[in-house]
Structure 1
């Protein structure tokens, strides 16, 4: 081996030794040293007792109450019973009317002439009858003449009643107390018999008619509360749960009442929630407090001292941001991690984000 080769080998060994020394000085700590402890900032809440509900959601349309139970329908189309020229509109869209109030009037001139003529004929028939009655008492007339006078009187009375009825038919009145929601006629229009002139609806007698999936309809029955919107207003109730399933949509008709003060209008598309179950006084926590555990089941992040400890639980109803929980050792008032529960895996040291110490 030459001197040059020996020198090169020594240089390589020196470089390797330096590298090993550098790794020992700057490299990771040995396994015997402790890792830096985790400390997670969290928000907390408490286990509470609450009343929770399970809802069946349905989509339907607001309609007038149908007839039933001895009550008339809550709405009606106002039609002309006879034909004629419309001469007066006595109602206004959006305004309330009483039952029997005049809504429309057709041309009454010919009918009024017929009534006046019938009244005169009745007066003449009454005079003839009274005269024949007196003569018959004095044997001054025949029984046949008296009977003819009697028949003439009855005929005159009938003809006057008919004339007055025909005149009354030209005055079209409200069939129920309610609000005029639509007028479909104008003055001077030639109206055909049975033509729809307006629609009157009792806005305090509305229902929602909805279609519910058949699998959910089995949970429903008359009398169950019905809410809509944010659920803070007055509740209605289920009136009818249909027995037939629509084979095309696999749904069942459900009709529910609406409160008198609902403020809704016919034709409104409405999402309603039917209270299918109510559970009172159950233990509940914010939904975000329950997260999937290592084995996939739900766990509740309990606050114990300065640590968050996962506890297996069973969950049930969810309502208004709360979820019903059950598990060993759970009690009202215990503190749980809320919005930050997903950031915690296993038992973890915590502190409150508002700067306070964890309970």
Structure 2
């Protein structure tokens, strides 16, 4: 009986379980069918709006600037050299590095003994040449007199020959007398020829004497110049550099011992690119007299000067690009040759342009304009000048319109945006709320801070705040939150 009872109970429980499983399956089936028969739900789609920084295009008159680097050079530089060699006897006190000298000031005096000896020797040679010239002139005068006497004697011999022939023709004279007269005439002609040769020799001697005198005078002038060049003077007011001469030293001929610079006539040499150079040309292709500003950064104290471009290099050096330009400086206070400076070139003014960030202009020379519906539109433009991180573009029909200042791949034509203008959305931080602490509360807070594991600088700052009459409320709340109260 017990076995039968247990069997019936098991069958009963199995039937109940199967009935529950059937009900559960029917419920699941009904839910699935109801879900499948329902219409799909649709969720509203929201357009994504990007926040972009914008700038407003306002037509302005701007003078573009080109910033390059250059080097200060002296417009008048002279190498001081010694024309003659010798020992230095005397130097000017200003003959030092950086010494300031005036025009015609004696810089160096070289031992003149050798030059004076040469000058004295040539003066003696000059006297010899002058004496030789006088002797040649006297010989020439005597040769001329001898020639005149020989010619006169020849004329007398000729007259005697004519008389002898006349007597022979009349039968009074003899042939022997005629022959003697003819021999005398021939002898007189030979004498005249000899005197002519003597005259030519005297004239040649005088010419040689004149040549010798001229050469001696030239040598004497050179000796005098060498003597004068033993004293070297400054050509103009300036400053000395690269000085290597001193008392007792020795200079060789044509040796450079200093460089004289004119600090009042300084130039700046700077190199610009070919495109920048093209922007400095006028309609005739000539370089304009553009104004420049030179700046030398000296430990935060800037030295500035202004000037004008005056010329350009004749050719491009090997391995270089662009053009080398030179500008004359007006005020050179504080500047020295060799200074490395920043040069700002002021181009002619441009009307109706705007200065915008270079990131606002795409590679295809377009900008993104915000329309009335806060959507972006493409507009064409062109870059007139690049100035650092900004560019100059013509405003034209875009006057008063907003353009995207910083383009990115996420924004493009037709996209909705939320414009953020300069200064918009920047709020001043509110001052912290202050609370007054009673003695017990202040003591608890100080004890917690001093016994905590905070770094020492943080502890010092918090203790200093808690010791004040009023303490920021956020500081108190943060400490009490750590205390667990």
TM-score > 0.5 by shorter chain:
yes
Q: 1:354 to 1:60 in 2, by over 3 A?
A: closer
Q: Distance in 1 between matches of 2:25 and 2:109?
A: 119
Partner of 1:280: 350
* Equivalent residue in structure 2 for 1:348, among 417, 428, 431: 417
CA shift, 1:194, in A, is 1.0
1:49 alignment counterpart? 60
The aligned counterpart of 1:143 is none
Preserved CA contact (<8 Å) 1:58 1:271? yes
How far apart, in 1, do the equivalents of 2:22 and 2:394 lie?
73
- 2:382 alignment counterpart: 315
Q: Residue 9 and residue 111 in structure 1: after superposition, are their counterparts in 2 closer, same or farther (change >3 A)?
A: farther
Residue 299 of structure 1 and its aligned partner are, at CA, apart by 1.6
CA-CA distance at 1:216 after TM superposition:
6.4
Return the structure number with greater relative CO, CA threshold 8 A, min gap 6.
1
Q: Is the contact made by 1:104 and 1:171 (CA closer than 8 Å) also made in structure 2?
A: yes
Q: How does 1:152-231 map to 2 (within 5 A)?
A: 165-209=225-269, 220=281, 221-225=286-290, 227=292
Residue 102 (structure 1) shift: 1.5
Q: Deviations over 1:152-195 (max 9, x none)?
A: xxxxx999988765443222111222211221222211111111
Q: TM-score, normalised by structure 1?
A: 0.60
Secondary structure of residue in 2 paired with 1:349: strand
* Aligned equivalent of 1:97, options 69, 81, 101: 101
Please name the residue that 2:86 is paired with: 84
Change (3 A) 1:308 1:96: farther
Q: Which runs of 5+ in 1 are unaligned?
A: 23-27, 66-73, 126-156
2:42 is matched with which residue: 30, 45, 48? 30
Structure 1 CA distance, aligned partners of 2:329 and 2:242? 23
| 2:366 aligned residue (290, 298, 306) | 298
Which position in structure 2 is the counterpart of 1:68? none
Secondary structure of the corresponding residue to residue 329 of structure 1: helix
8 A contact 1:292–1:298 mirrored in 2: yes
Secondary structure, in 3 states, of the residue corresponding to 1:183?
coil
1:54 and 1:106 map into 2 onto residues whose CA distance is 54
* Distance (whole Å) between structure 2 residues aligned to residue 43 and residue 251 of structure 1: 38
The 3 A distance-change label for structure 1 pair 169 and 29 is farther
- Distance in 2, matches of 1:316 and 1:283, equals 10
Structure with the bigger percentage of helix: 2
For residues 234-274 of structure 1, the C-alpha deviation after alignment (integer angstroms, 9 at most, x for no partner) is 133041342x455x436476341230424443344566566
Give 1:198 deviation, angstroms: 0.5
Q: Which has the larger radius of gyration?
A: 2
**Where do residues 232-243 of structure 1 align in structure 2 (5 Å cutoff)?**
233-242=305-314
Count of residue pairs the alignment pairs up:
300
Q: Alignment partner of 2:242: what SS? A: strand
Larger proportion of strand = 1
323, 328, 346: which one aligns with 1:258 = 328
* Alpha-carbon RMSD: 5.1
**Contact (CA 8 Å) 1:47, 1:336: kept in 2 or not?**
no
Cα deviation digits, residues 290-335 of structure 1 (max 9, x gap): 2549xx6522444859x4754514032233654333466322xx36
Gap regions ≥5 residues in structure 2: 1-14, 128-216, 297-303, 429-485
